[in-house]
Chain A
Amino acid sequence: MNTKTTDSISVDLDRSKLVSNMAQSLETIQLQSNIDAKIIHNNMADKHSSLTRLVRQFEAKDLQSVPVNGQKKHKERSNFIPLQEWEGYVLDIQEDLFTASLLDLTNKREVPDEEAEFAISEIAEPDVEFLSIGAVFRWVLGYRIKPSGQSRESQIIFRRMPKWNLESKARADRNAERLMKTLSWK
């Protein structure tokens, strides 16, 4: 049995060790910025330099901000802190708008008791293809915090939930059975 823990810091440290070992053995590493990534293998000195740089990045825990290929611009780090969140269910779609039933998660409502209309333009581009009647989404109001400042923001994110299959059905049956056992009739 693996006795290691699952806190993210321990896992980062393990991975850092792994990369360090790889660098020492000068193992071929694939660095890629796109699908036709190149394997760096023809110049051992270059490879060692790349590996050393990677190890340093891992050790500095700054992988997110340092692209390996040096081609991509550094993205400004930001955090989106939620203030209020709803789960929505699409009821109707018109030309520029869609209507949804909303469950207020912040106030721990148990059933959807609100309806709202949203402009389709509010949906982030990659999520538009998920807009369909019955689709489930999260609507979050919050603060975006960037090094350059803080602003209020609204986000609509469509959920990509796992498919229903026999295992999911069996799991739902088990959950229902468990729930039934907790019910008592007065």
Chain B
Amino acid sequence: MHMGFLITPKLDTVSIVLRGTFNPAIFSPYWFEKYKIIASKAEDADVQLIHPEVVSFRTDWLSLSSDKNSFTIATSEAPWVRCLDLVEQTFGDFLSHTPITQLGINRNIEFPSTMEKNEVVGHLLAPKKPWGDWGSQISKGVAGNHGGMRNVTMEIRDLEDREKGHVRASVSPSEGNNHGVVVSINDHYEFSNVLSDSTLGATQAMETLSQNFMASMDRSASITNQVMKLIDEA
């Protein structure tokens, strides 16, 4: 489950990204309200843009945006299962013929740290020695001001639970001066036969999402906890 972090996060954002062929004009807050997919009143939504090519709005708990090639919903409000329910209803019950070629289950978790701990963990994840003289230059000077690891990304492929795809995890320091750490996970699936078989529509993507969403939440929590452990022990 997603709780049980070693360090309480400051921000936890879950998003589901679909790639394929979409009709963004459909995705207005009124459409979601009409079919009772979201509880919020459509008139309360903050609509940024509704256009045949791109749509973007925010309700009390979600941000939704879409263009002709992608559909994204994101939330920083638990329970995360609401994202799953919304996407499954939208593309399972109502728009099941939408050809979806890729699915991403993403999570970004930011948690507090200190400048000193970030320094130690940055060096663990990206040692400066292999960078030679430049690495030595980075190490000189006052901690926190001399630079260091900005981003490390690790990826696993050849996973048993998908025909094609990967899980990618990135670690980076928080932006600004609050010395936090951000762990971003992209759990990516590809459905290569959707383009050649138009009858498949959203079926494979929804089946994959349904079967893997909670496991993906668990995996992202587990990866983040490993980074939290490094920070905790630094």
Of B81-89, B121-129, B133-141, the stretch lying at the interface with chain A is B81-89
Closest residue on chain B to residue A128 by CB atoms:
B39
Q: A124 in the interface, Cβ–Cβ < 8 Å?
A: yes
Q: Which of B153-188 contact A (CB under 8 A)?
A: 168, 184, 186, 188
Q: What are some 29 contacts across the A-B interface (CB < 8 A)?
A: A6-B186, A6-B188, A7-B186, A7-B188, A8-B72, A8-B104, A8-B106, A15-B54, A15-B67, A18-B53, A29-B51, A31-B50, A32-B28, A57-B48, A63-B49, A63-B56, A63-B63, A64-B58, A79-B12, A79-B76, A81-B8, A85-B2, A140-B78, A145-B10, A145-B11, A155-B78, A159-B85, A160-B38, A162-B85
A15 to B47, CA, bound (A): 16
Residues on A with C-beta less than 8 A from B15 are 8
Please report A residues at the B interface, Cβ cutoff 8 Å.
1-2, 4-9, 11-12, 14-15, 18-19, 22, 29-35, 37, 54, 57, 63-64, 66-69, 72, 75, 78-85, 105-108, 124, 126-127, 138, 140, 142-143, 145, 155, 157-163, 165, 167-168, 171, 175
Most buried by B among A7, A12, A161, A171: A7
For A5, list chain B residues within 8 Å (CB).
Answer: 102, 104, 186, 188
Give, as a whole number of angstroms, the nearest-CB distance from B192 to chain A.
6
Residues of A within 8 A of B17 (CB): 6-8, 11
A64-B58, A79-B76 known; A34 vs B19 contact (CB < 8 Å): no
Please list the residues of chain B having a beta carbon within 8 angstroms of any beta carbon in chain A: 1-4, 8-13, 15, 17-20, 28, 30, 36-43, 46-51, 53-54, 56, 58, 60, 63, 65, 67, 69-70, 72, 74, 76-79, 81-82, 85-86, 88-89, 92-93, 96, 101-104, 106, 108, 168, 184, 186, 188-190, 192, 195, 203, 206-207, 210-211
The CA-CA distance from A105 to B81 in the complex, in Å, is: 12
A143 nearest CB neighbor, chain B only = B8
Q: Given A79-B11, A85-B79, A159-B81, verify A33-B47 contact (CB < 8 Å).
A: yes
Q: How far is the CA of A6 from the CA of B20 in the complex (A)?
A: 11
Indicate if the CB atoms of B101 and A67 lie closer than 8 Å.
Answer: no
Indicate the member of B17, B19, B46, B63 with the most A CB atoms within 10 Å: B46
The answer to whether B36 and A160 have CB atoms under 8 Å apart is yes
Determine the distance from Cα of A126 to Cα of B37 in the docked complex, in whole angstroms: 11
CA distance A8 to B75 in the complex (A): 12
